[in-house]
């Protein structure tokens, strides 16, 4: 896992969360773009379904910020981001879910998130809940 600009990862196993510090224009002290990346390689011995549930707290000012996604073997499973409602520093819940059926073998799971800019976020985060079921 890596993080920059003030972002931090927490959790472990199949539940991870990336949190972002409050932006300077919303009363915080962070004037940076914040981002993070986490990956895990898995080796499956039987066909399995991976389900990813993402939940977050994102800005309402502009669309296309506090972006996050989950990928498997380079393909996007789910993605989410902010709302364009001109809400200044107001935040709102965002959710994105997806699943993928995987054959036996090696697979790379990648999670990433970014504020994209340094503005309009307070208490922003993304949480990733991953679960497995046999096929």
Check if the beta carbon of residue 125 is closer than 8 Å to that of residue 57.
yes
Q: What is the pTM of this model?
A: 0.96
Q: What is the pLDDT of residues 70-120, one digit of tens each?
A: 999 999 999 999 999 999 999 999 999 999 999 999 999 999 999 999 999
pLDDT (tens digit per residue) in 11-27:
999 999 999 999 999 99
As for how many domains the chain has, the answer is 1
Position 31 confidence tier, pLDDT thresholds 50, 70, 90: very high
Tell me what pLDDT residue 72 has.
98
Cβ burial of 41 (10 Å; 0-12, 13-18, 19+) is: exposed
Residue-range definition of the domain harbouring residue 113: 2-134
CATH number of the domain within which 21 lies: 2.60.120
Sheet holding 15-19, edge to edge: 8-12, 15-19, 125-134, 48-59, 91-102
Q: Residue 52 and residue 108: Cα distance in Å, rounded?
A: 14
């Amino acid at each position: 896992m890596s993080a920059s600009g003030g972002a931090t990862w927490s959790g472990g196993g199949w539940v991870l969360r990336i949190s972002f510090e409050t932006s300077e224009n919303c009363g915080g002290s962070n004037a940076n773009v914040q981002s993070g990346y986490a990956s895990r390689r898995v080796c499956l011995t039987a066909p399995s379904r991976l389900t990813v549930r993402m939940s977050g707290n994102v800005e309402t000012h502009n669309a296309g910020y506090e972006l996050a996604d989950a990928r498997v073997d380079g393909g996007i499973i789910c993605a989410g981001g902010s709302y364009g409602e001109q809400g200044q520093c107001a935040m709102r819940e965002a959710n994105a879910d997806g699943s993928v059926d995987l054959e036996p073998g090696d697979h790379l799971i990648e999670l990433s998130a970014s504020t994209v800019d340094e503005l309009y976020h307070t208490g922003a985060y993304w949480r990733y809940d991953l679960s497995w079921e046999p096929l």
